[in-house]
């Protein structure tokens, strides 16, 4: 992916449970994705910059919330899709596809944890 200023981008996808840390600090909306995003930036951004790449942390939670950098990234992707596609499928096409992929992944994890029934 080519980011702003024509640089290539390293995109790091991170899915977290919004309930992480619930016992320690109580529930705060967006806290888990904000913490995950900050952790990824601290871990990977320097290496990407040293290699002339833009680092994009793409953090989301199992409820479908997206971190601010993920929203900015998807808006940029939506602009590229809209400008390169004759049949634009709506302003939120990219966002709806990502939301579906997140929901599908969460559903697969839930099904995998169901108890097996022997017949």
Residue 51 to residue 48: CA distance in whole angstroms: 5
Torsion angles phi and psi, residue 91, rounded to 5? -65, -30
Q: Compute the half-sphere exposure of residue 64: CA atoms within 13 Å on the CB side of its CA.
A: 10
Share of the chain above pLDDT 70, in %: 85
60: number of Cβ within 10 Å: 25
Answer yes or no: are the C-beta atoms of 102 and 89 closer than 8 Å. no
User: By C-alpha distance, which of 45, 104, 100 is closest to 69?
Assistant: 45
> What integer pLDDT is reported at residue 51 of this predicted model?
92
16-40 mean pLDDT: 81
Q: What are the tens digits of pLDDT across the range 44-88?
A: 999 999 999 999 999 998 888 899 999 999 898 888 888 877 666
């Amino acid at each position: 992916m080519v980011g702003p200023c024509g640089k290539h981008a390293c995109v790091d996808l991170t899915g977290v449970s919004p309930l992480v840390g619930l016992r320690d600090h109580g529930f705060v909306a967006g806290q888990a994705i904000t913490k995950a995003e900050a952790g990824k930036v601290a871990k990977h951004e320097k290496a990407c910059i040293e290699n002339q790449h833009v680092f994009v942390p793409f953090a989301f939670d199992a409820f479908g919330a997206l971190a601010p950098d993920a929203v900015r990234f998807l808006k940029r992707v939506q602009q590229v899709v809209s400008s390169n596609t004759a049949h634009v499928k709506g302003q939120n096409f990219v966002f709806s596809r990502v939301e579906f992929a997140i929901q599908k992944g969460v559903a697969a994890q839930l099904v995998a944890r169901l108890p097996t029934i022997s017949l």
